[in-house]
Amino acid sequence: MLLRKDSTFSKQSEFVANVVLGNDILERSKQTNLLATFLTPATIMVVSVTASTTQGSPLEPDVLKRATDACVMAIELCEMRATILAYVESRMSLISPNVSVLIGASTAAKLMGHAGGLTALSKMPSCNILVLGAQKRCLSGFSSNASLPHTGYIYHSDMVQKLPPDLRIRASRLLANKVTLAARVDSFHQSQDGTIGEQFLLEVEKKIDKWQEPPPVKQIKPLPAPLDPPAKYVLLFFNFIAKFE
C-alpha cells in the first residue's frame, strides 16, 4: 500500500522512507518508535489512520520491488547530497568568502547549492534568495496559525534564530538583501579576504541593535501657567459684587 506524497508528507525523504516499509505498513505504523525516526508525531497519526482506513490493495511483489529499489536509491542520493554539501561547506571560505562571513558557511553552502552555483545566486533578487529552502508544510488538518510561510535557509540560520520571534522575519529580509550584494562581490572575485562581508555584517548588527532599543521615555510636560485676565474684567467683577453688598 502506498500513501500519496502530496496529501500526507511534506518532504520527499519522509515519503520514500514510508514506501520502503512495504505492504505491511499497517503493522509498521503501530511501531511508533520506528516511525519516529523520520516522521513527526502529527504525520505518524495521519499515517496510522490512513493505513487503517484505506481500501487499496497490496502491491504485487515485482511492482513493490521496483518501488522499493527506487526509494532506496533516492535515500542513497540524499546521503550523497549531504556529503557533497558538507564538502562544499568546508570550502566556502575560498568559494564565497563574503557570503560565508555574512551568513555563515553552512547557510551559504545551502543557498549556493539550492540556487545552482555562485553565479546563479548572484543573479537572484533578494526576494527569491529569501525563500530558498522553503518547504511546503503539511498541516494534516491542524491549524495554520503556527505555520511560517516564505521561510527558508536564511530564516533558519543561527543569526536569525537567536533574535526575538517578532524580529526574525524583518531580519531575514535585511540579510537577504545583503546576501545578494555579497554574492555579486564574490562572483567577481573581489574582496577575497571577506572585508566587504564583514562590513555588511556590521551594518546588519547595527540595525538589529537599533530595532531592539527600548522606545524613548515620554517626558511629562507641565501644564502651562494660566493667563491673567485683563484688568478691566477684574474691575467689572468687583463692581458687580459691590452692588449686592
pLDDT digits (tens, 9 = 90+) for 97-119: 999 999 999 999 999 988 988 99
Same domain, 70 and 126: no
**Is 87 contained in some domain?**
yes
**Is 240 contained in some domain?**
no
Same domain, 90 and 108: no
- C-alpha 177/C-alpha 184 separation (Å) is 11
Q: How far is CA 79 from CA 84, 97, 136, in A?
A: 9, 26, 21
Q: What's the number of domains the chain is made of?
A: 2
Q: Which residue would you say has higher pLDDT here, 48 or 64?
A: 64
**Is 193 contained in some domain?**
yes
pTM for this predicted structure: 0.66
Domain that holds residue 31: 1-94
Same domain, 49 and 22: yes
User: What 8-state DSSP symbol labels residue 149?
Assistant: T
* 5 pLDDT tier (thresholds 50, 70, 90): very low
